[in-house]
Chain A
Amino acid sequence: MTNAEPRGVTTDAERRAETVTTEVPADPPAAPTAVVETATGSGPHSDRDTRGPGARTVWATVFGAAVTVALAAAVQGWFAPFVVGLVFGTLTARWRVRARAGVLYATVAALGGWATPLAWRALFGEPVVATGRTVAALAGLPPSGWVVIGATLLIALIQALLGVWVGRTVSSLFTARG
């Protein structure tokens, strides 16, 4: 990992190690050719594919995802964090990077995407914390605005994590079949 690469972005060597760990049985028999090929070279999960994009591209994608989540929130697209999680789950599976990387990207995009509109409101003078307090009181929760702000971000986070989970597990099915 270079200094330019943020945490969660894996090097090619790590990716290869992960690929081996994921795809090759612990005690492989004299494996059928097709399987060896899948694990080591040709087909949709070739070495070139597993290398994935560079860190800048990844973080640009995360940023774009966060913006998408924020814009979606403005048009009742409350499920956008799940979609983003799904996308990152699928992509990280395709990139053969660890699940935690997908979790990190999706979390950042989802939390960033939902925190931004709240911050935007506060910046323009809307009493966000006081509104949160009102909602907490109406819902019978401890009357603190931060409780509802926390709950809001938690919902984004849960959606993102679920998205990653679904994305990776579904991808793993296709990977196995391939």
Chain B
Amino acid sequence: MNFDSIAYFSGIEIDKIVDVKAGTFVNVSDTILRQPDPIFFSGLNVFSIPHGFSRPVFTDALIRTPDLGGTPWLSPGNNTLNFITYSTSTHVCIAMVSNLNINIQYRVICSWITDYDTTNPLVPEFHPVDKSILFDSRVNYQKIASSGIVTGGNNFNPPHSINNPTNKLSNFKVFLEAFAGEVWVMNAGGQQNPFAIDFSQMEGEAVITSQSLEISTSNGLPSQRSWYKIYYDG
């Protein structure tokens, strides 16, 4: 069956959005400077929001500021108002590169990390305030062809290779445990990486081919993990 051409198939996993955090904060006065290595790294200004779950979640996010001529909503890793998100077992965090004292509006989408650990905790249903239908089997969701945890690797060079079952350049996402217990959006670049704050921080890059997803990591500890999702769509 050509799964990317069908709207819905109950045997294929889709992401579960478990919460959306929305609000505003003021960078730098509402954030905490995270700068474990002030000699080599300028640090990140971090705003933390309790997420209410018992373990980390995946994060997707948008931000904007009304203070710089009305910037559009921005994704992480952009070149205008750069930021990244990560999650701990208690909070989702927005880490800003900018030191400007500006208002930031945010939307952080929290999705479930399948099999993060063996606890399999109860998760409340999530109702966005403006949506009456949460799931519609007629519409086309991003369908997960393969997902999992990469363990025991903080220095995958050559890359850790994961089979790509779609045989095409599918969409994918990779998250990594940059620090123990913290699930970051994938990032890399060493001292060129705007999100690097310490030499002990695990970094990662990924590229997908029609045969495999190749994940390269560096630094960190062997106990630190990565998570990947390859979608049928793309």
Bound together: no
B contact set with A: CB distance below 8 Å? none
